[in-house]
Structure 1
Amino acid sequence: MKPLEFIARLAPIAVQDMRKYGVPASLTLAQAILESNWGTSGLTQKANNLFGIKGTGPAGSVTMQTTEYRGQTPYTTNAQFRKYNSWSESVADHTRLILNGTRDKPMRYHGVLWADYKTAATEIWKGGYATDPNYPKKLISLMEQNALHQYDVPSPEEEEGMKIEQLTAELQKTQEQVRQLNEQYASALKMLTEQSNTMKQMNSRLKDIESGKSAKVPSWAEPAIQAAQQAEVLNDPEGSFDFYRIMTVLHRVGVFNNESK
């Protein structure tokens, strides 16, 4: 299969998965090209396995020879690889692997999600997808030589839709901020009003204290003042609040009653 034919066949599948799950189409295409040798590898021909994923697939498995690395040293070994019924099935399984990772590290490949093509190529290797130390360079080279990163860019219609969604989200965020500011303003205004009323009351009280007189006898002090007047110990009932408190205390302990006897 010619390179352009391979890309034309696989790109729509890769782009569809990118829109749903965030796996860059450029990464899917580059890995498929590298792992399947443009769809000509024995694994792809026998098992529709584009990505060299090991294990048992929907259509079973096949045993193939593969090259692994210990550090910089390559070695050949046999391994069991997944078998698929179609390329679409292979791409879907590749996406699931990136999304779900492995049992011990479910997020090991999440660094590639919605990433630019260079970051995605590096993160897939860091996650342990391949042991080849040159794996990221090989992927990036394929991406740039074949302009695969163009498939990561949304269409004009999609881009416009994304802009509208972004503006809508920003507007909603601004509206929420304005609502919160209005609430804070109303709360601050209420607090200032309460503080102003308190200050007025304090000023009025201070004026009474400074004058040393109360405008009138408080209702709670009237019994004490009346008792003091009846006992003929008080002529002028006007006084300060402190005076009224003292007179009330004296009345409650019976001082004025004794005076009247």
Structure 2
Amino acid sequence: MTFKKILFYTFLVVALAACGGKKKASAKKKKYYHKPTKTTEQVVTAPEVKEQEEILTATSTVVVKTNTVEEYINVYKDIAMVEMQRYKIPASITLAQAILESGSGKGELTLKANNHFGIKCHTGWTGPSVTHDDDEKGECFRKYKYPSESFEDHSKFLTSRGRYGFLFDLKPSDYKGWARGLKKAGYATDPKYPNKLISIIERYELYEYDKLVLKDTYELVVETVVADAGETIHVVEKGDTLYSISRKYGVSVESIQKANNMRGTNINIGQKLKIDK
């Protein structure tokens, strides 16, 4: 074999080897190659968050919107009890007034001024104010930054004016006496104001907050009315039964039933019963 042939075959072998190496390398590369998959951005929407009720402590500065009377009571009961401890005003009265005056927190004056008790500016008020139509058009009412300020100012308002002084001689559990006394002192012009307060207190059992504050010193005030004709009238309180009433006045259950044309023994809170002795 000539030198040229040897050189030719050598070149051919090298070329084939190189070609095979490329194919193997290509095959090897193809073996580990993964075609990228098409991805889409996943959009996650947050679940609808419902407005949650925030519980307001006596020193809180949070403004809370309430939808029901029960929610309003739950939010402001702690403030009312603290105010009772500080100023001796029954928590039941404070809550009932706030519910009535503020429309359970939904009244126009409350929403725009955080005024939960309808307190007008009066002489000497130097704080913020708003105008609001009440007994007259465009009257001046006090404005507060936070509801808690309104509750505290309500307590100061009652304790700093002499015309309300007699109320503090009442037993702190006597919410009926307080309700009537507020009307007598001129807090409101509505002749039904005391009955409205009493109705709210008894409907929502706000006197229970008075009990929490007074604890062992709580004393139930049983109201007895003596009519002009000399007959005794008992106003039914929570927990009363015909038997307990009969024992109180030393009469029989039957005599109470007869005096009030009753067939059964059912009685209701606030009901007036004649007591014939």
Does the aligned pair in 1 maintain the 2:167–2:178 contact within 8 Å? Answer: no
CA contact (8 A) 1:118 1:140 kept: yes
* Pairwise CA distance, 1:77: 3.2
* CA displacement at 1:5 relative to structure 2: 1.4
Larger Rg: 1
C-alpha distance 9-112 of structure 1, shift in aligned 2 (>3 A): farther
Unpaired segments ≥5 residues, structure 2: 1-65, 219-277
5+ unaligned residues in a row in structure 1: which ranges? Answer: 68-75, 164-261
**1:99 maps onto 2:159 in alignment:** yes
Task: State the alpha-carbon separation in 1 of the partners of residues 148 and 90 from structure 2.
Answer: 16
1-structure distance, mates of 2:81, 2:182: 18
Are 1:14 and 2:80 counterparts? yes
Residue 33 of structure 1 deviates from its aligned partner by 0.5
Alpha-carbon distance in structure 2 between the residues aligned to 1:106 and 1:127 = 6
AA of the residue aligned to 1:8: N
Partner Cα distance (1:106, 1:138) in 2: 19
Which amino acid is the alignment partner of residue 128 of structure 2? G
Q: TM (normalized to structure 1)?
A: 0.53
Distance 1:40 1:100 in 2: 28
Change (3 A) 1:115 1:8: same
Percent identity over the alignment is: 41
Change beyond 3 A, Cα 1:77–1:111: farther
Report the CA distance between 1:85 and its aligned residue.
Answer: 1.1
* Aligned counterparts of 2:126 and 2:75: Cα–Cα separation in 1: 21
Q: Distance in 2 between matches of 1:94 and 1:45?
A: 17
Q: Larger % of helix: which?
A: 1
Tell me the distance in 1 between the aligned counterparts of 2:170 and 2:115. 21
C-alpha spacing 1:50/1:40, structure 2 compared with 1 (3 Å): same
Task: For 1:62 and 1:109, locate their aligned partners in 2 and report how far apart those are by CA, in whole Å.
Answer: 29
2:110 matched to which residue of 1?
A: 44
Give runs of ≥4 in structure 1 deviating > 6 Å.
none
1:114 aligns with 2:114: no
Equivalence for 1:134: 192
Under a length normalisation based on structure 2, what TM-score does the superposition of the two structures give?
0.50
Native 8 Å contact 2:173 2:210 kept in 1: no
* Alpha-carbon shift at residue 59 of structure 1 (Å): 5.1
Aligned-pair CA distance for 1:19: 1.2
Q: C-alpha separation between the residues in 1 aligned to 2:175 and 2:127?
A: 31
